Amino acid sequence: MGLEQSSAALLEIDNGLKAGADAANETVSRANEAIATVAGGRAVAAEAVGAMRRVSDSATNIDGVIEGLDKIAFQTRVLAMNAAVEAGRAGDAGRGFAVVADLVSALAKRSEDEARSARAQLSVTQAEIVSALGAVERVDGAFEGIAGDVAQVHVLLGGMARSNRASATSVSEITAAIGAMNIATQQNAAMVEQASAAARGLTEEVDRLAAQALRFKVA
């Protein structure tokens, strides 16, 4: 392969390496954008986790309040039942009070039922909150894994870009050196041609001189 062909081949390699470096740089930029996007997603997921935990804590506090109301309703019903018994012992004088005690007892019983129903619904809500919290935490974990993978790809691509740039620089230097050698070779070929032409001219001149010399006779 001649120097010109070698130079052309190296130029193609140089262009390919530069294109690869540019592509790697572009991919690194995209990876940076992906890392930023994942970071934003993780921030949103963290906010969601915090909100879910606050809701879960509030639900726990509400459950405690409902439990306290349930106990109060139960105690009220017990007191109303005792009052009704005492009113029954009082005969006609306590009949009106007995009616009121029965109403209070029924109201307390209803309050207990409502409290139990509210606690049951709240338990379902708490379970759903826990499930949603777990889902959000898994999403955050997935984001973390993606961020780690993208970061590794970012490092690899950065190394590839640096390697391609270094290789492109080396190939460019080799191409320049071969170009200089090609020019020198062409110059040498021209000088050789000139020397060859001069040698042919000298040969012809020597032949003429020899022919003229033959005319002279030496004693």
The pLDDT of residue 71 is 82
Identify the CA nearest to 35 among candidates 145, 131, 122, 126: 145
Distance CA 115, CA 102 (A): 20
Q: Global pTM? A: 0.47
Phi, psi torsion values for 51, nearest 5 degrees: -65, -45
* CA distances, 109 to each of 13, 70, 84, 104, 181 (Å): 89, 9, 15, 8, 106
The pLDDT of residue 142 is 79
User: What is the residue whose two structure tokens read 């950065």?
Assistant: 158
Identify the CA nearest to 107 among candidates 68, 80, 86: 80
* CA distances, 195 to each of 42, 71, 188, 191 (Å): 78, 121, 10, 6
Distance CA 188, CA 173 (A): 22
Phi, psi torsion values for 214, nearest 5 degrees: -65, -20
- Token readout for 153 is 């790809």
Q: Residues 185-213: what's their mean pLDDT? A: 77
Distance CA 1, CA 189 (A): 17
Q: pLDDT tens digit string along 104-151?
A: 778 778 888 887 888 788 788 878 888 887 887 888 787 778 777 777
Q: Name, in order, each residue with C-beta under 8 angstroms of 80's C-beta and a sequence gap of 6 or more.
A: 101, 102, 104, 105, 108
The yes-or-no verdict on residue 209 having pLDDT over 80 is no
The yes-or-no verdict on residue 39 having pLDDT over 50 is yes
108 near 76, Cβ under 8 Å?
yes
Q: How far from the centroid of its chain's Cα atoms is residue 50's Cα? A: 22
Q: Residues 68-72: what's their mean pLDDT? A: 80
Identify the CA nearest to 157 among candidates 37, 39, 31, 38: 31
The domains located in the chain, with CATH, are 1-215 (1.10.287.950)
State the amino acid at position 96 in one-letter form. G
What is the percent of the chain where pLDDT is above 70?
A: 90
User: What is the residue whose two structure tokens read 């995209």?
Assistant: 30
* CA distances, 75 to each of 62, 67, 101, 119, 120 (Å): 20, 12, 13, 18, 21
- Computed over every residue of the chain, the mean pLDDT equals 76
